[in-house]
Structure formats: C-alpha cells, structure tokens
A and B are shown apart, each in its own frame.
Chain A
C-alpha cells in the first residue's frame, strides 16, 4: 500500500487507462489479503447481474443515432419557434435545446458538436457578445445531466444499489429527483441571459404557422420524452425496457422513415457508441472489484469513523463535500468519478443523514460543473476544437456561467426538499 499508491497515482496521470489503475489497486489489495485473484473476474461478471445496466448501451446507441441525424436542427427550430419570442429568447432556446439534447445523448460532448454548430452563429447574429455565446454553449453542453434518461443518473443508481441501503433506491426516483434541480439551473441561466446586452434589439414574434411547421418537422421526435417518461411512470415498461423501445424507435425513424442515416453507416455508429459504453463498463466492472476489496476490509466504515471524529455536523460535511466534488470534477470524467467515489462517500454521507437520492443529485450537479472547470474540463476542449478558439478564451468565457451554476449547486446541496419533494 505504502509505495504502490503513489506509483499508481503517478501512472494514472500519464494517460494510463483508468480501468488498469483500478484493477491493479484491487488486485494488490486482494493479494495482500490472501484472497484468490479470480475474485476480480467474479466481480466483473456482476455486470451481467444488474438489470438496469441494459439501459446504458441502448440509450447510448439511441443518443448517437440522434446525434448523427438532423434531429438537432429540428430541435433548435422547434424551441426557437416556441420560445424565441421571449426576452433573451434565442439564448433561452439554446439553453433548453442543449438540456434536452444532453439528457438523451448522455453528456458525451455531442451536444456542443451537434447543437453548437447551429446555435453559435445564430446567437452571434442575434447580437450577443462573443464571450457570452462561447460560454453559454460550452456550459450548456452538460446541462441536461439531471434530466431523465441521462446516463450518469442511471449509472449513479446502479452504483448506489450495490451499497447496503435501508430502502430500495430506484432509477425512477432519481429521474424524479433531478427535475426541479435541473429546472433551477435552466431558470438561473435564463435569467442571466435575459440580462445580457445585445447589439440589435430585434426580437422574433411568436408566429403560429412557423411554430406549426416546426412541430410538424419534429413530429417524429416529439414523442420521445413522452415515450420515455410516460412509459416508465405509466407502468408500461421498466427503465431498461424504455431504453430498448427508444433505441428501436429512433433506429426506425432516423434510418427508415426520415432516412437521414444510411444503413451503411450503422456499423460505424454501433462501434463508436459501444466503444464509449465499453469504456464505461470496463471501469464499472473493475471498480466493483475494488469496491468489494474496500468492503471486505471495511474501509468505508473506518473512513466514516475517522471523518466523524473531525467533522461534527452535516453542514460542515456538505461544504467539504462540495469542495471535494468540485476538485474531483476537474480531474476525473463523470463516469469514473461515479464508480470510484460513490461507493466510498455514500455510506459516509448517509451517516450524516443525507438521503442517497439527494446525494446523487448533489454529486451529479457538482460533476456538471466539472465538465467546464479549468484546467481539464472536457467540454472546454471540445468547444475549443469545435469553434477553433484558444482554450484560454473559453476559460474566460465560462467564468460567469461557472459562478451562476455554482450558486445553483449550493442551493441544490443545502435545500434537500428541492430534490426530494417529488419522491416523498
């Protein structure tokens, strides 16, 4: 433990695949405890014993298909025709469209690439400042994280279900819990957008024929959110089944009805999307093993006892938790952070009386900030690449958005009812 930990950490920051680092840690631990190393494979096999995991490849595939089609254009047209008349209209359009798109495509950077191309020139034309436009699009790229059926929400439920809880924790609970905190973020960003100075005062009028045309154009995609949420809450299907229906529906619509994706391209889309899924699943698998080692050696219990000696109240704990998660979000991508950290902090947080669903929302809200927190927030690099701007420019452009969403994160953290109102 003494020499190996810094060695593994060093390896971790020079591009070693994280799964190898986690697996090595787990194997060293099991070896020291004289536990047969085949336990690693047994733990990885538990990936085949979690019914909800099915949702991950299926939603990811559907998201990739949507990203490849022209759904992004229709979505922007639709939101524009419905919301464009409001003060700060186009910016609000951008925020809402990004959130919806991210919820379905799983915050993998697709939003910035697909929607950014449409929204960035449009915002510029509407007279917004350059920095505002860049900041808005970069920070909106992770905005839908708290809305169903986003991948991180599902993954949090999967990981939390592995930990001993007093009450069952369902994905549907997390889906409900994310609604108000997600809306709070949308609302705060919208207010900020309305307050922005613009060069032109042109504001589009609500125009019924235009709106109707946009609705008709998006007629195939509009049922999707209703499908997913209505299907789950109406009791027609479980979350994993909603994912299957979504995948089949999107496949049929984009490939056979709208014919925006040629069949020839499907194998590539399957491969690209499943590489992302594989990257997440292999980390989840080996982290089941490392978590198992931690449980075997009772690390979470001892960690809780240690922390409890130094932190007396829930409030202090929450403040430290926020700082820790922000730092974490800067270093780790959301999926790795989820599978590595949640098993350790969830038992501790529950010891301080934090509801596991609330912790999930806190965790994801913090991680959402991490997507565009310098120096390594993924979306900063994607935006820099997409809009051909230096990363430093994006650092500056995102600062106000960072602070607005930071306030939202703090509200979410210290006001549990916002997350828990719908599930209690």
Chain B
C-alpha cells in the first residue's frame, strides 16, 4: 500500500501501475502494489505516520520530505550544484547506490530515485537579477530547510507556504516569485500567473519511492529481487520521460510568452559565489553532512577534469 501525491492518470502513476502489474505477474500474485494517488492519505508527514503505524507500507516522496529521516537524501539539491545533465548523470551513477544504502540504514528501502528536473526562478514581476528578486515576495516549500537556508544566503527572505497555497498566493499577490521545475509549473497552473523566468538551473530536484524496510523484509528474497528489478526499470523509464517532459515544458513556458531572462556573466559569478556560501552554511547548520558534500564535489571534479 503506497501513497503518492501524484494524481491518478499522470505519467508517473501509469508507469508505476505498469511496473506493479509486471511484479504481480512475475511473483504469481505474491507481491501486489496498491497505490493511493492524489494525496488522499494526507501530506508527507501524515504518510510517514501511517507507515509507522502499519496502515501504509510506502510512499512517493520528494527528497526534501525525506530529509528528516536521512538528511543527505537531498544532496543533489545543493544550490547550483550541476551545470549540465551530463554532470547529473555522472554523479548519480556514482552516488545513487550510496543514498539508497543511507535510507536503508534508516529503515526504508528506496525502490528508485527519479529526476524532477531543475528548479528555476519564476516571477510575476519583471526580475532580471538577484537584487530585483530580493525585492519580491518569494515562496519556499514549507518545512524545506535546504531551500530556505539557500535563499537566505542569497539574501532573499522567503515566505514559507504549503504547496496547496501557492496558486492562490500568486493570484492574490501574497507571492510574486517561486522556484520550481518546469513540469510542476505547468501541472499546478502556475505558468498562468507568472511573467518572467530566470533561465539559470538553480536546484536539481529528485523524487523517490520508499518502502518501509520491515514490510519489504517480509517478502521472500527472490521476490525482492523481482520487485527491485521491475521498479528499477520503471524508474529508468521515468527518468527518461521526466527529462524529455521537463525539456518540453521548459519550451512550452517560452511559447506561452513568459519572458526568459539570461543573466550576464558577472551576475552568474555572483550567484555561484553565493551558492557556494550557501552550501557551506548548509554543512555548518547540519542540514547536509560534510562528508557527502565532499564526495559529490570530488565526483564533479573528476568529471569536469576528464571532460575539459
């Protein structure tokens, strides 16, 4: 029994259901996956409580909402960490396993990590640089310490609201500026309320499917292998689909008439230096661990030195 905020009928749900069907067939019905889409089981915290109480067995979470269980699960979301998808692919090929192990130690089996794409800054006021963004009311997802701290370092004092209040917030002027990945912007209709997009990949977002380890251990070993393999495939497909979907959505935003702002070099240097500072702050405040950040940085360096 797995809860997710993704509505029924979305690509995500369709692929999951396909995977569930394959698993059921291959295990002769010993393992069945039942999904509760659309957030009907409550928010992430509520889902965690129900997993602990045993009513649910797993859930689809954003990395940020698993941070209170295992802080480094959000390591890919360090501000301005990746410059390209190639860097993402290289680092993830080295690190995904490690994150899965980290979650396992905390009692959750991660069946996969899927790409949510890059969050960029969007606003309903004409913003071209950091100074202008600072003058607007900027949203951060409620309870997301990483984004909150990163924005603070950038000099933006953010307004924290639950996801469900963002649309109304933009509509009423409670918020001017948001950061989100392109598919989310379109799925939540936020694109109808913004006019400018700062075309800088700011934060790499991931989502996961986590199953309580206790339940997972009840499945026989051979069946576990089947589940992991099938779900691994689903996540490979989702990763690909999400990447193309996000690229398409990014294009669609431009076609909608949203003004794409590309900051000049000087501005980018400023952003990068502040992002570095933010990462240091995140380590100091214990929001992510130094060892994991160092490891990611090492992989990035390795990659960058081989390419250039």
A and B: direct contact (Cβ < 8 Å)? yes
Bound-state CA distance A232–B49 (Å) is 34
A46 close to chain B: CB less than 8 A: yes
Q: How far is the CB of A423 from chain B (nearest CB, A)?
A: 11
Chain A neighbourhood of B168, CB < 8 A:
168, 170, 172, 238
Chain B neighbourhood of A237, CB < 8 A:
174
A165-221 contacts to B, CB under 8 A, are 165-168, 170, 172
B162 close to chain A: CB less than 8 A: yes
| The stretch of B35-43, B177-185, B205-213, B286-294 that contacts the partner chain | B35-43
B256 close to chain A: CB less than 8 A: no
Residue from A46, A49, A167, A296 in contact with B189 in the complex, judged by beta carbons closer than 8 Å: A167
Task: Say yes or no: B53 contacts A232, CB within 8 Å.
Answer: no
Chain A neighbourhood of B173, CB < 8 A:
234-236
Chain B neighbourhood of A39, CB < 8 A:
50, 53, 55
Task: Say yes or no: B189 contacts A172, CB within 8 Å.
Answer: no
Query: Per DSSP, are chain B's interface residues mostly helix, strand or loop, or mixed?
Result: loop
A11-64 contacts to B, CB under 8 A, are 30, 35-36, 38-39, 42-43, 45-46, 49, 51
B40-95 contacts to A, CB under 8 A, are 40-43, 45-46, 49-50, 53-55
Bound-state CA distance A233–B169 (Å) is 10
Chain A neighbourhood of B172, CB < 8 A:
172, 232-235, 238
Task: Say yes or no: B55 contacts A164, CB within 8 Å.
Answer: no
> What class of interface size applies to chain B in its complex with A?
20 to 34
Bound-state CA distance A296–B165 (Å) is 26
A121-159 contacts to B, CB under 8 A, are none
Task: Say yes or no: B169 contacts A46, CB within 8 Å.
Answer: no
**Chain B positions 148 through 167: 1 when the CB is less than 8 Å from some CB of chain A, otherwise 0:** 00000000000001101101
A336 close to chain B: CB less than 8 A: no
Given A172-B172, A234-B173, A235-B172, decide whether A49 and B165 contact each other with a Cβ distance below 8 A.
Answer: no
A393 close to chain B: CB less than 8 A: no
B8 close to chain A: CB less than 8 A: yes
Task: Say yes or no: B174 contacts A235, CB within 8 Å.
Answer: yes
Task: Pick 8 A–B contacts, CB within 8 A, sort by A.
Answer: A36-B55, A42-B46, A45-B46, A45-B49, A162-B40, A164-B7, A235-B172, A238-B165
A384 close to chain B: CB less than 8 A: no
Residue from B7, B37, B39, B54 in contact with A35 in the complex, judged by beta carbons closer than 8 Å: B54
Chain A neighbourhood of B303, CB < 8 A:
none
- Nearest B residue (CB) for A167: B189
Task: Say yes or no: B167 contacts A168, CB within 8 Å.
Answer: yes
Q: How far is the CB of A236 from chain B (nearest CB, A)?
A: 8
Binding site for B on A (CB under 8 A): 30, 35-36, 38-39, 42-43, 45-46, 49, 51, 161-168, 170, 172, 232-238, 292, 295-296
Bound-state CA distance A296–B40 (Å) is 9
Bound-state CA distance A163–B7 (Å) is 11
Bound-state CA distance A39–B47 (Å) is 11
Q: How far is the CB of A261 from chain B (nearest CB, A)?
A: 32
Given A170-B168, A172-B168, A233-B172, decide whether A49 and B42 contact each other with a Cβ distance below 8 A.
Answer: yes
Task: Say yes or no: B165 contacts A51, CB within 8 Å.
Answer: yes
- Nearest A residue (CB) for B176: A235
Task: Say yes or no: B7 contacts A166, CB within 8 Å.
Answer: yes
Task: Say yes or no: A46 contacts B167, CB within 8 Å.
Answer: no
Chain B neighbourhood of A238, CB < 8 A:
165, 168-169, 172, 174
Binding site for A on B (CB under 8 A): 1, 7-8, 36-43, 45-46, 49-50, 53-55, 161-162, 164-165, 167-169, 171-174, 188-189
Chain A neighbourhood of B174, CB < 8 A:
235, 237-238
Chain A neighbourhood of B189, CB < 8 A:
167-168
Task: Say yes or no: B40 contacts A295, CB within 8 Å.
Answer: yes
Bound-state CA distance A20–B119 (Å) is 47
- Nearest B residue (CB) for A292: B41
Task: Say yes or no: A49 contacts B50, CB within 8 Å.
Answer: no
Q: How far is the CB of A162 from chain B (nearest CB, A)?
A: 7
Chain B neighbourhood of A170, CB < 8 A:
167-168
- Nearest A residue (CB) for B45: A49
Task: Say yes or no: A164 contacts B53, CB within 8 Å.
Answer: no
Q: How far is the CB of A206 from chain B (nearest CB, A)?
A: 37
Task: Say yes or no: A42 contacts B49, CB within 8 Å.
Answer: yes
Task: Say yes or no: A164 contacts B169, CB within 8 Å.
Answer: no
Task: Say yes or no: A295 contacts B164, CB within 8 Å.
Answer: no
Q: How far is the CB of A165 from chain B (nearest CB, A)?
A: 7
Chain B neighbourhood of A296, CB < 8 A:
1, 36, 55
Residue from B36, B43, B164 in contact with A168 in the complex, judged by beta carbons closer than 8 Å: B164
- Nearest B residue (CB) for A169: B164
- Nearest B residue (CB) for A35: B55
Which 6 A/B pairs are nearest by Cβ-Cβ distance?
Answer: A164-B38, A235-B173, A235-B172, A42-B49, A36-B53, A170-B168
Bound-state CA distance A168–B171 (Å) is 13
Task: Say yes or no: B50 contacts A163, CB within 8 Å.
Answer: no
Q: How far is the CB of B45 from chain A (nearest CB, A)?
A: 7
Given A35-B54, A235-B173, A237-B174, decide whether A164 and B37 contact each other with a Cβ distance below 8 A.
Answer: yes
Bound-state CA distance A46–B172 (Å) is 26
- Nearest B residue (CB) for A163: B40
Known A-B contacts: A161-B164, A238-B169. Give 11 more (CB < 8 A): A30-B55, A35-B54, A39-B55, A164-B40, A166-B7, A168-B164, A235-B171, A235-B173, A237-B174, A238-B165, A292-B41
Chain B neighbourhood of A233, CB < 8 A:
172
Task: Say yes or no: A42 contacts B50, CB within 8 Å.
Answer: yes
Bound-state CA distance A90–B254 (Å) is 58
Q: How far is the CB of A222 from chain B (nearest CB, A)?
A: 23
Bound-state CA distance A160–B97 (Å) is 40
Q: How far is the CB of A34 from chain B (nearest CB, A)?
A: 9
Bound-state CA distance A245–B214 (Å) is 48
Chain A neighbourhood of B165, CB < 8 A:
51, 238
- Nearest A residue (CB) for B8: A164
Bound-state CA distance A136–B50 (Å) is 50
- Nearest A residue (CB) for B46: A46
- Nearest A residue (CB) for B42: A46
Bound-state CA distance A168–B174 (Å) is 17
